[in-house]
Structure 1
Amino acid sequence: MQPSTAGQNKTVLILGANSDVAKETIRLYVDKGFHVIAASRSITTLEEFVTQQRIDHTKVSILYFDAEAFDTHAAFYESLSAKPNIVLYAAGYLKHNEEALLDFEGSFRMMKVHYAGAVSILNLVAMDKNNPHLERIIGLSSLSGVRGRKSNFIYGSTKSAFTQYLAGLRQYLFPRRIVVNVVVAGYIRSKMTKGLDLPESLMLEPSFIAKAVVNAGKNLIIVPGFKWKLIYQVLKAMPEKLVAKLP
């Protein structure tokens, strides 16, 4: 099979590229002909992934990026060899709710990784009027941010803030015909969820989520998986007194 030329001469910037979903998107974007800038604190891990997956090294640039180091974001963006056509923000961090309630540093880190860091770097991307190539910004969010639930409301609140930021950014960038998508994912089989007691029937593979990211259309909210689409709609419509009974 010949590689796709859909992304020929186009660049994708993946922020938080060491997440399980993000690594799968690297493969898919390269297969579509894109050049991928994979940015993460885990440079060695990404290099090993590219080698193990036999991805063409000439199609992937690996850079250091720390979502929490806000003061480095401007220099990072300016240093890019090519300004991106597509940007994916996939950085994530999870502190369990009971631990987060007792450890503000853990709560604060989730706020920085999921929201403040995203706003910091994506504002730079969005406001770069000298980049005429930008066509899409995608954020990897979570169904945990749809409604506040007692089992994960701190993590969920950071994802909710991220989703609302992207919704407003979409409206702001509409006159420039730049599409903004939010991939609202359910339970993903990943290193972040390893060890959690989650229903097997609802688990989704990172590769499945990655396909939804890479094939994102024009809708703001993208919920991968039929079961999760139903859950998303139910959560949105559920009365508060019923939400209160959820775990």
Structure 2
Amino acid sequence: MKDAFGIPQSLLVLGGSSEIALAVARRLVARRTRTVWLAGRPSPALEAGAEGLRALGAEVRTVPFDALETATHEEVLGKVFAEGDVDMVLLAFGVLGDQRRAEREPASAVRTAQVNYTGAVSAGLVCGAAMRRQGHGSIVVLSSVAGERARRSNFVYGSTKAGLDAFAQGLGDALHGHGVHVMAVRPGFVRTRMTEGLSPAPMAVGPEAVAEAVEEGLRRRAATVWVPARMRWVMAVLRHLPRAVFRRLPV
């Protein structure tokens, strides 16, 4: 169960080698979280993440999980929930993709959509049903400001995040009244391996800033969290710009 400040005692991370996910896990373990499942494709990065959390005092298990293998999600995630209640699920897997390649090779765009959206829908519904049965918990969905308005430079990725945002909102409505809180997190540019080599956008942050925002959002039981917070107003302006004006922006 969560403590009086909304901090979970148990955490399931989907996308367990994600730098942002691990920053969130470290921050929560430093508070009260004691049991962590890191779910992801087996890799040295996943094992290193687990060892780092164990060094902080958490009991950590790794779970083989692939967003693309949706047929296995009920079985794999069901085994985690069968071990005991899970206070929080962090849905943190995703790929940026390559926009130019996606336009040349539609199969590449489809794979990005399958990881970022289809895989998230599958895992989110499985976890949502399990949390509804246990009667409590939070599902934190790592989205992006890119979902607010599709930009020419990354509209395939942005469209997947727009769909993910809509899914998180609907899932939150479906679970309302059943003790389950759903929170979408919308970071701007985050300095991670995924964005390495790209020119940092204005207001770029590190994974720790996202982790801090997630903790604060859990305390407030927020439905949406922006990182940094002022991105809310920037994206509100961009979202409502006339299309003719938006097309002339270098985005």
TM-score, scaled to structure 1: 0.89
Q: Distance in 2 between matches of 1:132 and 1:78?
A: 12
Alignment partners' CA distance in 1, 2:207 and 2:47: 19
RMSD value over aligned CA atoms? 2.2
Q: Displacement, 1:99? A: 1.2
Cα offset for 1:142? 0.7
Q: Distance in 2 between matches of 1:172 and 1:8?
A: 23
Confirm or deny that 1:165 pairs with 2:176.
no
CA distance in 2, matches of 1:129, 1:212: 23
Equivalence map 1:7-46=2 (5 Å): 10-34=9-33, 35-46=35-46
Partner of 1:141 in structure 2?
A: 143
The more displaced of 114-123 and 55-64 is 55-64
- The farther-off stretch of 229-238 and 178-187 is 229-238
Match of 2:204 in 1: 203
CA-CA distance at 1:241 after TM superposition: 1.9
Pairwise CA distance, 1:93: 0.6
Partner of 1:98: 100
How far does the alpha carbon of each residue in 1:51-108 deviate from its partner, in whole angstroms, 9 at most, with x for none? 3566346522211110110111011012112231111100011212111111222211
- Equivalent positions of 1:63-102 (< 5 A) are 63-80=63-80, 81-102=83-104
What is the distance in 2 between the residues matched to 1:187 and 1:9?
Answer: 27
Q: Percent identity?
A: 28
Q: 1:70 to 1:239 in 2, by over 3 A?
A: same
The farther-off stretch of 173-182 and 228-237 is: 228-237
Matches for 1:112-127 after TM superposition, within 5 Å:
112-127=114-129
Matched letter for residue 221 of structure 1: T
Aligned length in residues: 243
The separation in 2 between residues aligned to 1:38 and 1:150, in whole angstroms, is: 34
Query: For the residues of structure 1 that align with 2:154 and 2:112, how far apart are their CA atoms?
Result: 12
Per-residue deviation, residues 206-231 of structure 1 (Å, max 9, x unmatched)? 11111112332323221011442331
Secondary structure of 2:193's aligned partner: coil
CA 1:52–1:144: 2 relative to 1, 3 Å: same
**Pair 1:231 & 2:234 matched:** yes
Q: Does 1:153 pair with 2:155?
A: yes
Question: Equivalent residue for 1:220?
Answer: 223
Give yes or no for the alignment of 1:193 onto 2:192.
no
Q: Which moved more, 1:234-243 or 1:159-168?
A: 234-243
TM-score normalised by L of structure 2: 0.88
Which segments of 5 or more consecutive residues in structure 2 lack a partner in the other structure?
none
SS at match of 1:95: coil
Find the residue that maps to 1:66 and give its secondary structure: coil
Q: Distance between the aligned counterparts of 1:208 and 1:129, measured in 2?
A: 27
2: CA distance between counterparts of 1:54 and 1:87?
19
Quick check: which one's helix share is greater?
2
